[in-house]
Each structure stands twice: as structure tokens, then as C-alpha cells.
Amino acid sequence: MPGETKERVLAVATKLGYQPNKIARGLITGRTRTIGVIAGDISSPFYAAVLRGISDVVEGHGLGMLITNSDETLDREVAATKLLRENQVDGLIVSPCDVADSPHLREAVKAGMPMALIDRKVRGLLVDTVAVENVQSSRDAVRRLLMAGHRRVGIIAELATDETRLKDFLAAAKNQPPEGLQLLSTSWQRLAGYLEAHRAFGLEVDPNLILAVNGHSALAAQNAALVALTKNPRPTALFCADGLMSVGTMATISAKGLQVPSDLSMICFDDLDWMTFVGPGIDAIAQPRRRLGRAAARLLLARIGEAQGAPRDIRLSPRMIERGSLRSIR
């Protein structure tokens, strides 16, 4: 009567609504199928989007995600590291609050904890690090506008510093991507993406359509947008290099009685992680922050060795009934 026992066990299991205990499994396998994340502040648009990216791939693999906030303070980051290690997470994604040498992280790595860093490197920590792909994401965004047929695309970007620098930059970028992009501030990187998209289409860039806002405020952006929209011929689309630029630009668009997307298209590289798009023929969004999170998670899982895949079902035994362990919640 071999099959009979099996059925009896199965019957009891389903009747009791049995759910396997991953905690117990983790004790013996040494893997919890849970990763830990130390974010600065979940409620900030940046981290919210990054976390979503992480959770996309983590949940996709059937793993869990333990999240903590550091509020960008070292104390809380140390406490979070401790909490997560005690919880035996299989890996750690950290958005470090400081680039200085961090003993708590170094020690975790030394102890064999797989780790990926977000947005910042930490001195002396040789682990995978991901940061926003400003150039590529901007290039993708502007490419969408060009593919939709736009030929006069304005860019509203901070681009602090003097006129000459902009001229030099445009000259340097005329035929190939300028060097040392990683060292530039974000708005310059995003301008580089804008230029690259045009180059890929074999299009000349009209310098008049490159609006250096010179100041990181919505009001300054508003003025820049006003200048852009009075050019002749008027740009048919705008690319805003960040969320604040976009707010100011929208104000101008409204004030002029224009409507997006009927009168002009607009794409914004924004902190909410929507390439707030807009315009006919433009159907996708880039989500650079979310992609950043996904990249970090993928790197981490690769290092953890997710190749092993999902664990197999647990093997039920008659003794589990005798010992009354077929229950999920105690």
C-alpha cells in the first residue's frame, strides 16, 4: 500500500491548507530566496522607481525582497546591513550613503555576501555598481521623437557654465561621442544623448534649439521654453532633460495656449521615471530609473547563482502528519 499513504498525506495537506515553510527550508539549504535592499528613502521618486525595477526581476524569479531605508545616514545604513544579514538574505543591493570606506559593507562582502551598488561606488569595494544611463536613455527618448517624424526637436537642459563650453561641446560631438562623458554632470550627458540620436539619423542639429537654462529652477526653464517656442520655425517637439525643466516648460506651453500633444510633442527625462512622453506615434516610455533597478537586480542574481533556478517541491512524508507539522501558521 505505497500509493495509499501518499494520498493520505496529500489529502491532509490540502485539507489543512498546508503551505511549506521557507524559513525551515532556508535553515538547511542556507539560502532564503530573499534579497535585502538598502534604499535612501522609499518615498522619493528616484528610489521608488529603482525599487520597482528591482522588484520586477526579483519577483520574476520568485524571490522576496526585504526593504529598508537609510535616510542617507551611516548609522541607519549600518543597522540595516545588520538586520538584513541576520535575516540571512541571499544578497544585498545597497544605495550607499557615502563613498568613503564603509567597514560594514566591506565586512559583509568579505563574509561572502553577494552585493550590488546603486548610483555610487564605495572606495575599496569591488562589487558591481549601476548608475543611470543618462546618455543612452536620452538618446532613446530623442530617437523616438525623430522616428515619429520630428525634425526640429528642442532640448531644455540646465547645462550650467558659459556659452563657449557649449560651442566647444557641440563641435567635439559633431562626428563622434565626446570623450569623458562619465565625468560630466547629468544635463551634459543628456545633451550628448540628444546629439547622438541626431547623428544616428544623419541630421544636423540646429544650435538655436539647444536651450541652456543656466539655473536649476522651474522659472528659469519656463523662460528657456519661451525662447525655444518663439524660434522660427517653431520646434515641433521638445526634450526636457529633467523633471524641473519639464514643469517650467509645461507652464510656458500652457501660458501660450498650446496643448501637448496636439500642438507639439514632448518627452521628459523625469524623476518620476516616466519619460513623460507625449505625442502621436510615440508609444513607449524609457523608464531609466526602473531599468537601473532591474540591472542591479540582474547583476546580483547572477552573482547569487540564480542559475540554480527555483527549488523543487517539498517531499511530504507520513511522519509529518504524526508530528503534526502539516500546518502553515502556528
Residues that bind a second copy (CB under 8 A): 17, 19-24, 26-27, 30, 32, 34, 41-45, 47-49, 51-52, 55, 59, 62, 64-69, 82-88, 107-108, 111-113, 218-219, 222, 247-248, 250-251, 254-255, 259, 272-273, 290, 328-330
28 binds DNA (CB under 7 A): yes
Binding pattern for the stretch 70-109 against DNA, x by CB under 7 A and - elsewhere: ----------------------------------------
Beta bridge partners of 67: 37
Beta bridge partners of 68: 38
21 binds DNA (CB under 7 A): yes
Q: Is 163 exposed, middle or buried (0-12, 13-18, 19+ CB in 10 A)?
A: exposed
CB of 195 to a second copy, least distance (A): 30
* Pick 317 or 328: Cβ nearer a second copy: 328
Beta bridge partners of 292: none
Binding partner of 207, given a second copy, DNA, none, CB within 5-8 angstroms per partner class: none
Which of 24, 42, 255, 284 contacts DNA by CB under 7 A?
Answer: 24
Binding partner of 250, given DNA, a second copy, none, CB within 5-8 angstroms per partner class: a second copy
Buried b (16+ CB within 10 A) or exposed e, 130-144: bebbbbbbbbbbbbb
Residue 230 near residue 259 (C-beta atoms within 8 A): no
Distance spanning both ends of the chain, measured CA to CA: 32
CB atoms within 10 A of CB 229: 20
Residue 157 near residue 165 (C-beta atoms within 8 A): no
**Angle in degrees, 0-180, between the axes of helices 163-172 and 186-200, rounded to the nearest 10:** 40
Binding partner of 51, given DNA, a second copy, none, CB within 5-8 angstroms per partner class: a second copy
Residue 140 near residue 192 (C-beta atoms within 8 A): no
Window 310 to 329, contacts with DNA (CB under 7 A): 311, 314-315, 317-320, 323-327
Chain positions contacting DNA, by CB under 7 A: 2-3, 5-6, 20-21, 24-25, 27-29, 311, 314-315, 317-320, 323-327, 330
